[in-house]
Chain A
Amino acid sequence: MKRLIFSRLSIAIPLLLAVSFTAFVLKDILQSEEAGSSEEIQNRGAGGRHSESRQLSNFEDYTLPLFYFSIRPLAYPDTLSTPFNKIQKQRIKNFIHRGIGWEELEVYLNNEKSFLDQLQLKGITVLENISMSDTPIELRSDLENVPDSIRGSSEFRTLEKSIQDMERSVNHVTMFIPSFHWHGASNRYHQWLKRIISGDWGNSRVDYRPSWIKIKEAITWTLSINLISLILVFGLAIVIGEWLFLHHLRAGGKWVETILFFIYSIPRFFLAMLLIQFFASDTIHPGLHIFPSPGFFDSDPSASIVTQWFRYGTQLILPVISIVLPSMAYLTRIYANKLLDEKSKPYAFLAWSRGDKPGFITRKHLRRNALMPLVALLGMEIPALIGGSVVIEVLFNLPGMGRLMLQSIVMQDWVIVFNILLLTGIFTIVGKLISDILYSVLDPRVSWPKQ
């Protein structure tokens, strides 16, 4: 038992790290792109190594590297990992891809900047597109347009000299040599993970509330709906499955099987739409309009979850039905089939020949053995339920995680989007862990040491 828990944990913890890294990287790509195009950084320019370690107000510290180590071409400078102006970054990359050394390039870029500043002071605008050119040849053809009055100046001469230096420094080999850099704990992922573990999940961009509080409000709905659904699914699957097993050769059993097959094949959103059309609107018949129409749902975060359930309980009946039915049909079929498998085993035959009634045998002997695959499926069913409830939440306008995710995607609120992704990943892994351990508790054979 201990060994099993240990081995499962040794799988789960690296998985958790991998999931957190995925959520972080996806968030980081979007945010660093925005940081790279934000005005603060564009004004900063592309000067020097680790020039400014300034924390941007709403973003991570982008002067830090992404991960604990990095592997990049020897020709790349350190500063390329930080998002300064995107266009300028691409220009520097283009220079380096043509084999120009960074030292010479840096000198040239500084010279170019001071030269352009000087031109601007004199009011000459012939060299506007020099900052678009990214080969020495293009630069030279650009410089031909410069009027003679400036050609004599010392800035112009140093500029020409630095272009010559660049041409001389061309070295195509350094691009192909990888260089390994170890950054230690001062990287964005480490800082982010530290904040996540300490409970600081960042702020929403839309209303500046802490994302953890927003997610917590949503998660209480999703979890409570899914918990009720899960209990109903398993309870109904066991009851109906055993009934189906005992009656599976009679006409009633055949009918139930067919109906279950139909329910299993209905997409959740279509079932929910049908329920809304029939029972929550006047379309079919006004007398059938039993439940309130979806879309008038406002949650009051100050009230406790219990009072909210009482207030909005009638609004939750249809969503729960449309979450429960397809999962229930699927699990019932599996459970009934497993019961049939178990029935053909010798111990069931012995009990039957002893004179025990089928119902008694099912409850006493078969149930525990046949429940095994259901417990194994529990781990699979939790992510399926959370994923499946996205559509239901959006359709019934429930303030759950799926709706929050969709709204945040529309609002481009990346902090919330990827925190939800991280959280659902954690749920899935923990759910699988629990179902594995539960499985070994129910079936001691699982934890036997391997031969």
Chain B
Amino acid sequence: MKVITKYWHWLKSKSKTFQISFLIVLISIIIAMLADVLANDKPLLCNCSGTWRWPAFRQYAENLNLLDPTHAFDYVSCTHRFMPPIPYAASSIDPSASGYLSPQIAWSASSNKHWLGTDALGRDILAGLIHGTRYAWVIGLLSTMLAAIPGIFIGMAIGYWKNNRLKLSILQIILFILLSFVLMYEGFVLSVITTGPLKWALILGLFLLTYILGRLISRKTNDISKKYAIPVDGIAMRFIDYFESFPRLFLLMALLVFLARPSMGLMILLIAIIRWPLFAQVARSETLRESTLNYVLSSENIGIPWYKILTRHIWPNIKSALFITALFSMSTAILLEASLSFIGLGLKLERVTWGSILNEGRQYLPGWWLSIFPGMAIFLLLISLHWILAEKDQSDGPREGW
């Protein structure tokens, strides 16, 4: 209770636009989490010849291999059926409503419950929107996290070491190059010629070996006697330049050729690969700025090791900027997936996302409900995220006029 009042006061202290957008984001998260309860073609609870059953929740147990999917019961004959508010799943086809049923017609017919109309096959648009919310959040959150972790690591490292601070002796450099080549090669060979659990054990062992050898070689990296500085910043920036030198959508389209109609995981991975340079750039510039400040210089002088400086001193000061980047990146990830689905290169066909509904609207222009409603959903989520971002940005107060 105390926590709730605390957050209530925090929310009340914010501006009205922030409150509204925060609520929209919160509601969309709740919809995403409860998608199966809100829109499902199976009853939530029903009485099957004396026993009460929960068909809508059975799929979770089936996915976790707790129940055998072949023993599914026929709930159509059951009595006392409690249906979800929208009695259609995203991909369940209603043959009586096929052929682009518009909302006006759906509302005038008393037996139909397609509040926002249907598409060519008779799939309910509202159910599609609700399940699309889930896909949007999963893709947005996971791809951002997947992009942020390597991006922030690399960005902080190159921002701290720059071009002239990681000093090694010539022997160390040669050993590093040789070791990385040999380990990469042997890892590749091992992954090709072995199979099963042995393969993963060997690769894990190789990683451990890399770590131990790397630690042994890289001891006392900031020693003055080490002459040669490694331009980590320059090397990593060239890498980032390379990733940035394709228009994002074209690169995604070209990569999607290799995994036509990818699964969710692959799509998330693909978007993360495209998006990590952004995090690296932000983390790098923030770390560069912080590492010239006195508190970092003095903590270096009293001998605090670099990893403690990075994690305990620099990280708390740059994390808010990175949080803003993450919010922004989430909105672009959602937009990227929607654009790909929109031009027809998105997820597997049975997955109904906002972009795939829009794609149907593109192919059937008189069906305005196919483009307006999912478009509004994307727009609302994006503008709320952008508004939260703008509020975070303008924390240093309003500016004066002339």
**Interface positions of A (Cβ within 8 A of B):** 11, 14-15, 18-19, 22, 26, 29-30, 71, 73, 97, 175-176, 178, 246, 248-249, 261-262, 264-267, 269-270, 273-274, 276-277, 281, 283-284, 293-295, 340, 343-344, 352, 358, 383-384, 386-388, 390-391, 394-395, 402, 405-406, 409, 414, 417-418, 420-421, 424-425, 428-429, 432
Contacts and interface: CB of A to CB of B under 8 A. Distances in A.
B383 A265 contact: yes
A340 B376 CA distance: 33
B185 A71 contact: yes
Nearest to B371: A273
Given A71-B185, A270-B358, A273-B358, A383 B383 contact: no
Contacts of B387: 261
Contact of B379 (A14, A265, A358, A383): A265
Contacts of B375: 267, 269-270, 273-274
Given A277-B372, A352-B402, A270 B379 contact: yes
Contacts of A432: 245
Which 3 A-B pairs give the minimum distances between C-beta atoms?
Answer: A270-B375, A387-B247, A265-B383
26 contacts: A11-B238, A18-B245, A29-B258, A178-B185, A249-B401, A261-B390, A265-B379, A265-B382, A267-B335, A269-B375, A270-B371, A270-B376, A276-B365, A281-B366, A344-B399, A352-B402, A383-B246, A384-B248, A387-B247, A390-B249, A391-B339, A402-B249, A406-B345, A417-B257, A428-B245, A429-B245
Interface in B60-107: none
A424 B245 CA distance: 8
A257 to B, nearest CB: 10
Nearest to A403: B343
Contact of A383 (B247, B345, B390, B399): B247
Interface in B322-363: 335, 338-339, 342-345, 358, 361-362
Contacts of B249: 387-388, 390-391, 402
Given A11-B238, A273-B358, A387 B250 contact: yes
Contact of B254 (A11, A97, A417): A417
Interface in B113-137: none
B257 A30 contact: yes
A111 B368 CA distance: 69
Q: Which of under 10, 10 to 19, 20 to 34, or 35 or more describes the interface residues of B? A: 35 or more
Contacts of B185: 71, 178
Interface of B: 185-186, 189, 192-193, 238, 241-242, 244-251, 253-258, 335, 338-339, 342-345, 358, 361-362, 365-366, 368, 371-372, 375-376, 378-379, 382-383, 386-387, 390, 399, 401-402
B19 to A, nearest CB: 16
Chain A contact surface mostly? helix
Given A261-B386, A417-B257, A424 B250 contact: yes
Nearest to A97: B193
A30 B402 CA distance: 62
A26 B241 contact: no
Contacts of B344: 406
B247 A11 contact: no
A340 B399 contact: yes
A414 B257 CA distance: 9
Nearest to B241: A15
A263 to B, nearest CB: 10
A71 B192 CA distance: 15
A283 B343 contact: no
B208 to A, nearest CB: 18
Given A261-B383, A273-B362, A340-B399, A175 B378 contact: no
Chain B contact surface mostly? helix
Contact of A387 (B248, B256, B366): B248
A74 to B, nearest CB: 11
A264 B390 CA distance: 12
A156 B209 CA distance: 48
A11 B362 CA distance: 42
A387 B125 CA distance: 29
Contacts of A424: 246-247, 250
Contacts of A294: 365
Contacts of B335: 267
A18 B242 contact: yes
B361 A283 contact: no
A406 B245 contact: no
B343 A386 contact: no
Contacts of B193: 97, 175
Contact of B247 (A71, A264, A276, A428): A428
B362 A409 contact: no
Nearest to B255: A26
Which of A246, A262, A283, A432 has its CB near the most chain B CB atoms (within 10 A)?
A: A283
A19 B245 contact: yes
Contacts of A264: 386
Contacts of A274: 371-372, 375
Given A11-B238, A15-B245, 18 more contacts: A26-B257, A97-B193, A262-B383, A266-B379, A267-B375, A269-B339, A270-B358, A273-B361, A274-B371, A274-B372, A344-B399, A387-B249, A388-B249, A394-B343, A394-B362, A406-B344, A409-B253, A418-B254
A386 B250 contact: yes
Nearest to B242: A18
Nearest to B252: A387
A316 B390 CA distance: 33
A26 B387 CA distance: 40
Contact of B365 (A265, A281, A406, A420): A281
Contacts of A343: 402
Given A406-B344, A421-B246, A73 B189 contact: yes
A425 B368 CA distance: 36
A366 to B, nearest CB: 12
A429 B247 CA distance: 10
Nearest to B370: A273
Contacts of B366: 281, 283
Contacts of B365: 276-277, 281, 283, 293-295
A418 B186 CA distance: 32
A406 B250 CA distance: 10
B110 to A, nearest CB: 25
Nearest to B380: A265
A281 B253 CA distance: 30
A281 B344 CA distance: 23
Contacts of A395: 362
